[in-house]
Amino acid sequence: MGRKQNFPSVDDLKSDPMTHRFGDLFNPPGLTNFWGCVQAEIDLTAIRNLNFPPFATGDNPSLGFVVDGRHAQALGIPVTFTWYPDHIERRCRWGDLSIVSRTFLPMERMAVVVILEITNDGAALETEIGCNVQHRVARTTDWTTWLPPTESGHDVEITANEIIASAPNSEAVSVTTCFPNPDVVTRLGVRYRLKLGKGKTWRGVFVQAVGPEAPGVRTVAEELATNVEAAFATCRSDWNAELESLFTPGNDRYGGHLPTLVTSNESLRKIYWMGALGLAYFRRDSPHSVMGRTYDTLMPRYWQTLTCIWEYFLSAPAHVLLDPDVMRKLLERWMEMDVHKHFGTIYLTGDGIGPWYAINDFAMVSMIYRYLKWTGDLDWLGKSIAGKTVIEHVVDHAGHWEDRKQPGGLAGYGDEFNLLECVGTYVHEVVSLNAANVFAMRCAAEILSHVGRKQESESFRTRASDLLEAIQRMYVSGGGYWRARHPDGSVHEVKHAMNLLTVLNTVSDDLPSDQIEEIVGFFERELMTDTWMRALSASDDDVLFSVRPDHQWTGAYPAWPPEILKGLCRVGHADVAARWVEGLAKSTNQGPFGQAHFADRVVPSVNGGAAKAPPVDPHINDWHSSSSGSWISAVTEGFFGLTVANGHLTATPRLEEVDPEARLENVRFRGELYVVDGEGVRRAG
């Protein structure tokens, strides 16, 4: 197959070059060092969202590039971005100047580094370059809104190569350091007056660091600025080691590891590797976390410090393999919290944060069930958490829907803010979460049966069957989609992927074959595109409600394609899934999957891939989403059919159309390693 290793390097995951200028529909790339993150601006050197909670600079730009004495963005200079897991490279031309920058976050430092090189390809010239700086640093544990905190009105001190800003209301300092020393330093930026002969190159370094007090922050910034190539090389080495550790049994970074995918199908490999990177990119080992290690939800702009139950659940099949102890810890924290008031926790305080997401009960049962199946940690069922054993928490979550039961037999789940936020007809009695209730009750029944509580187990199974009948009454016969019932009793057709993907992955075995064919046909006809999909059909009556591309006709959230891949494989349509993979893999050409990508033809593609949605209104989608782990399970549970049944690891491979020779190595199950291929499961070695 031409590959010497079956784990990626930073070069394997780099994006295509992406050229943009100010005003484009573009989501600039971000970086993390597991303490915090940063985002590039559409500019040669500018950054924003430099945040290492509890230290924040807010959603504010800084280090804006100046050329010929003018703000570069105002000149309309196109900038070409290439993202790597360890750094962002930016390039442009301005007259005879070839300008290149590299931006990176050193590990275990609250700082960003920008290395700038300017080469003169023409006659000797003189020019003025530099950076403009903003001071918005703050320190707080109040990260309870979607945007990071900030302060203004800082005290500023200037030295020969530094701008030192102290926050007015908290113990926080921002230091901007330049090397070599600039010709001019003011509170708002630095300038260099360059004389460049033909073929000559000027090189400079800009560092912005934050922390609690000036001496320590200045030391960090100075060390990075004066030893920048060593710092860059260390960052690259650390990231290559990180990527290897994701797939290495017994590594020293995670409690487990992911299976190694061996395949000649480059598209399948790419979506799998990008899913794995997505797990690592949201790992947070902040020294300020009261919860220890957690996994963030979005980056680098929105909801930092939040671990959202819904997003974590979508990646749970991968989390239980990679970091099972962290998964158990988070589940216990959420059992202590009222999941009917909050959608997750903030790691700076451990507190719950709202509002309630209607999927929470299903997510909790599903994750507990998955953790038990894969680890075999059945003693955990008897552990008391918040006054109840784990098994009683399972019973409560699985049965909670009945507190919301409506006259028609389905549970009602509130308005759009408890569900998808931007689909006005997908409210109250929705099919997806009621199908999820059937699945959750069956999970609870299996657990109860295991501990000898047979009567309760049978009760759950009976109630699940009754609920399934009510769900089927909402189906649009011949259409392949369902209706929703609103609080006033009115019924509305809703052509949304959330119903489809949830039904396929929870109750598909209960559906007649002709209904399965109608559902798959609806997906191919109304939602599927060459390189992505629509979350809502363009023929739905509610298309004017919003243009947000995570859940509307304009595009889709990044977990919906892999969840549908998994569902297609489950219902005997792995051929459709296999054909789709090549197009989906093209959408990794911009780096990791975004919080949403636009559907084909809604906006122009990017080098053949579905364009990431931008973070600004009305789209408001972040550059990366922690639900990326769902791409792992699309491969392991979808194409390989990997599952646990009766305490044994089993597989139903569906590899014929994607790669008949593909295999998974080092699959970790209850302390043992296995190999999975087209023949099934066998113990490694």
Residue-wise pLDDT for 510-554, tens only, equals: 999 999 999 999 999 999 999 999 999 999 999 999 999 999 999
Q: Are 166 and 55 in contact (CB under 8 A)?
A: no
515 burial class (0-12, 13-18, 19+ CB within 10 angstroms)?
Answer: middle
Q: Which tokens in the block code for residue 113?
A: 């580094």
153 burial class (0-12, 13-18, 19+ CB within 10 angstroms)?
Answer: exposed
Q: Which tokens in the block code for residue 485?
A: 């019932």
Question: What are the C-alpha distances in Å from 573 to residues 128, 364, 522, 563, 640?
Answer: 61, 29, 13, 13, 13
Length of the chain: 685
Q: CA angle, 81 as apex, 113 and 204 as ends, to 5°?
A: 35
* CA within 13 Å, CB half, 242: 22
Question: What are the C-alpha distances in Å from 661 to residues 56, 634, 653?
Answer: 49, 17, 11
Residues of the chain predicted below pLDDT 70: 1-4
Task: Report pLDDT for 3.
Answer: 58
Task: Report pLDDT for 1.
Answer: 40
Q: Which residues pair with 405 in a beta bridge?
A: 411
What is the Cα–Cα distance from 306 to 345, expressed in whole angstroms? 6
Task: Report pLDDT for 649.
Answer: 97
Q: Are 598 and 554 in contact (CB under 8 A)?
A: yes
76 burial class (0-12, 13-18, 19+ CB within 10 angstroms)?
Answer: exposed
What is the Cα–Cα distance from 271 to 261, expressed in whole angstroms? 11
Longest dimension (CA), the chain: 88
| Alpha-carbon 61 to chain mean position | 23
The residues near 611 (Cβ < 8 Å, ≥ 6 apart) are 25, 590, 597, 598, 603, 604, 605
What is the Cα–Cα distance from 57 to 104, expressed in whole angstroms? 17
Task: Report pLDDT for 2.
Answer: 47
Q: Which residues pair with 591 in a beta bridge?
A: 589
Residue with tokens 């509610």: 542
Q: Are 398 and 443 in contact (CB under 8 A)?
A: yes
